[in-house]
Amino acid sequence: YVKEQGGGIAKMYAPEAATKTLERILLENELRKSVQLGHFTLEYQPKMNLAIGELAGVEALVRWNHPDLGRIPPDKFIPLAEETKIILPLGEWILREACKQAARWTRQGFKPFRIAVNMSAVQLEEPDIVETIERILMEENVSPELIEIELTESAFADREEMRYTIQRIRDLGIIIAIDDFGTGYSTFSYIKELPADILKIDMSFVKDIDVNQNSRAIVKAIVTLADTAGLNVIAEGVETVEQAEILHGLGCREGQGYLYSRPLPPEECEYMFTNVSKDE
Ligand code: C2E
Ligand code: MG
Ligand code: MG
Ligand code: MG
């Protein structure tokens, strides 16, 4: 018995596992503190119309600026925030901040464009999520047409209830995009039934589109599918002119990526916007 227990303990406290757990606990604590102290900001990345090279909207991306640890990338903390449900208060802050920014930019007299906000499936599972979104938009005095919500395929595939929730968000007048499209498990025929307006082609297909026939074929298939289903398509991770040209040739009308701009703090994006008074 003792031996068995000893073995179990030794296994449990294998140095690597122990380190990971400790790291995780520390990070979770810091994450909670940072949500309370407001150590987050949003950056914005433009989405471009590939044909005319004009701004089509922006995507808001969260940044964690920890006072001691420095900047921690979303891929490092979003999964943890989801597991611990810290994404609920954080996600509310993100949507509210994006709405505040939309209101600010409107006040500054920029020609209106949509701000896309990423949302986790965990947030959609909250029973009052639709009311929460509606309330935030109302409190920040932002019209739903100015907001787009990006969800990954898993949010749609999970359950009938999720799709119903997404449809209710859409009924508010918010545009719904499927992020990282092509990496999930939705079958093509299934897409027509999804309550979505936009497919965002995952950057893995864009990365090697100039050299990989397969990637081109996939992008072409996604574009055809989108046309049939009446959805818009945007490609993410566009880094070169060549990629942009190929995408445009394949019928993809919008693109986003470092070729146009990295995600930027709000003040640094404004050079890309059109002024209403100048324009009309
Ligand atoms: P995503 O929503 O698919 O966002 C695209 C990611 O690709 C962003 O990384 C963006 O900075 C990066 N990117 C944009 N253009 C290029 C390019 O040309 N080349 C390359 N290599 N990368 C490019 P980021 O900001 O680190 O975010 C990573 C992921 O974290 C996001 O993927 C999203 O899943 C998640 N995330 C970010 N912000 C939020 C948020 O506010 N809420 C939630 N729930 N998730 C977020
Ligand atoms: Mg996204
Ligand atoms: Mg993506
Ligand atoms: Mg992603």
Confidence of residue 10 (pLDDT cuts 50, 70, 90): very low
Which ligand is located closest to the Cα atom of residue 48? 1
On the question of pLDDT at 216 being above 70, the answer is: yes
On the question of pLDDT at 192 being above 90, the answer is: no
Q: What's the rounded Cα separation, in Å, for the pair 86 and 30?
A: 11
CA of residue 97 to ligand 4 center, whole Å: 20
Q: What's the rounded Cα separation, in Å, for the pair 46 and 145?
A: 17
CA of residue 83 to ligand 3 center, whole Å: 20
Pocket lined around ligand 1, Cβ cut-off 6 Å: 45, 61-62, 73-75, 78, 94, 118-120, 150, 179-180, 203, 236-239, 257-258, 263
CA of residue 66 to ligand 1 center, whole Å: 18
The reported pLDDT for the residue numbered 2 is: 41
CA of residue 15 to ligand 3 center, whole Å: 35
88-92, 130-134, 185-189: which range is least confident on average?
Answer: 185-189
Q: By alpha-carbon position, which residue is closest to atom 17 of ligand 1?
A: 237
ipTM above 0.95, yes or no: yes
> How many percent of the chain have pLDDT more than 70?
89
The reported pLDDT for the residue numbered 1 is: 41
CA of residue 81 to ligand 4 center, whole Å: 15
CA of residue 49 to ligand 1 center, whole Å: 19
Q: What's the rounded Cα separation, in Å, for the pair 95 and 120?
A: 12
Which ligand is located closest to the Cα atom of residue 119? 1
The reported pLDDT for the residue numbered 15 is: 63
256 CA: nearest ligand 1 atom: 15
User: 269 to each of 97, 145, 146, how far by Cα in Å?
Assistant: 16, 20, 17
CB within 5 A of ion ligand 2: which residues? 118, 150, 179
236 CA: nearest ligand 1 atom: 15
CA of residue 28 to ligand 4 center, whole Å: 21
202 CA: nearest ligand 1 atom: 3
CB within 5 A of ion ligand 3: which residues? 179-180
On the question of pLDDT at 85 being above 70, the answer is: yes
On the question of pLDDT at 12 being above 90, the answer is: no
263 CA: nearest ligand 1 atom: 11
